[in-house]
């Protein structure tokens, strides 16, 4: 049987993003969402998410946006003098130069602070754990340590799932470059190839607000992701094809 998990990233990034994501759950087919626990709207996002018992809630470990939770003097390779994370733009420049981005032990410490805050605010461990922007060894190794230490039910990195699952997990962003509407046709016309068993699509649905506009390069894509995951045509097609919509809870 073909199964599709549509993951939503960046819950708590801003008010607009959060409200858009909750709407994408209520009106669409996104039922697994991960919260950026260090961002200013995270607590409000958790309160909204907890009203929906069917929503699978994870931790979106973030080391590129906003203020770090760990003490500044203990994570100098992650932050500037004000404790703000080095931006993803600068990190990509470092990657292009082949540089090491940051210290693994510091990344582990920050991830530990993030999961501890998640547990404090949610009242439980994350149902799954994933990464924001960067999937590099300096972050992957610490996150796998956190996953094992806290017995997080589901780890989505390709050491835990087959790498082929991730090959088309963000196929829609390539599709958006050539299409302005009817995004569901990516599935219907086979650009996204539904395989037997588990399939994954990583999305960032959300509404646009000033905080997002000033801090993120991902603007139009969030609106298009929202249109995709709330498309009545897509829901109808998935039902006709007998494709099961699942969440990370189905792996527990």
Q: What are the contacts of 108-113 at 24+ separation with CB within 8 A?
A: 108/141, 108/142, 108/145, 108/146, 109/70, 109/74, 109/75, 110/63, 110/68, 110/69, 110/70, 110/75, 110/78, 111/61, 111/139, 111/142, 111/143, 111/146, 112/70, 112/146, 113/68, 113/69, 113/70
Structure tokens at 156: 């989505």
Give me the residues paired with residue 32 across strands.
7, 56
227 vs 230: CA distance, rounded Å: 5
- Are the C-beta atoms of 8 and 24 separated by less than 8 Å? yes
149 vs 174: CA distance, rounded Å: 36
Helix or strand or coil: residue 212?
helix
Q: What is the pTM of this model?
A: 0.93
The DSSP output letter for 67 is B
Give the pLDDT of the chain (252 residues) as one tens digit per residue.
Answer: 899 999 999 999 999 999 999 999 999 999 999 999 999 999 999 999 999 999 999 999 999 999 999 999 999 999 999 999 998 889 989 989 988 889 999 999 999 999 999 999 999 999 999 988 888 888 989 999 999 999 998 776 655 566 677 788 999 999 999 999 999 999 999 999 999 999 999 999 999 999 999 999 899 999 999 999 999 999 999 999 999 999 999 987
CATH class of 2-251: alpha beta
Phi, psi dihedral angles at 215 (to 5 degrees): -125, -5
Helix or strand or coil: residue 247?
coil
């Amino acid at each position: 049987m073909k199964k599709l998990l549509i993951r939503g990233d960046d819950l708590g990034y801003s008010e607009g993003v959060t409200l858009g994501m909750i709407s994408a759950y209520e009106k669409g087919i996104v039922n697994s969402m991960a919260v950026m626990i260090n961002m200013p709207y995270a607590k409000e996002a958790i309160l909204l998410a907890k009203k929906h018992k069917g929503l699978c809630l994870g931790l979106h470990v973030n080391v590129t946006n906003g203020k770090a939770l760990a003490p500044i003097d203990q994570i100098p390779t992650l932050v500037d003098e004000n404790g703000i994370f080095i931006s993803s733009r600068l990190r990509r420049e470092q990657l292009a130069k082949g540089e090491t981005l940051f210290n693994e032990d510091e990344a582990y410490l920050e991830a530990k602070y993030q999961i501890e805050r998640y547990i404090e605010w949610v009242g439980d461990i994350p149902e799954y754990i994933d990464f924001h922007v960067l999937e590099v060894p300096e972050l992957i190794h610490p996150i796998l340590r956190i996953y094992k230490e806290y017995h997080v039910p589901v780890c989505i990195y390709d050491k835990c799932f087959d790498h082929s699952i991730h090959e088309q997990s963000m196929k829609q962003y390539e599709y958006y470059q050539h299409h302005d509407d009817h995004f569901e046709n990516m599935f219907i016309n086979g650009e996204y190839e539904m395989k037997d068993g588990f399939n994954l699509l990583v999305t960032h649905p959300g509404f646009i607000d000033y905080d997002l506009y000033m801090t993120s390069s991902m603007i139009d894509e969030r609106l298009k992701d929202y249109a995709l995951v709330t498309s009545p045509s897509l829901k109808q097609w998935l039902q006709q094809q007998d494709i099961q919509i699942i969440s990370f809870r189905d792996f527990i």
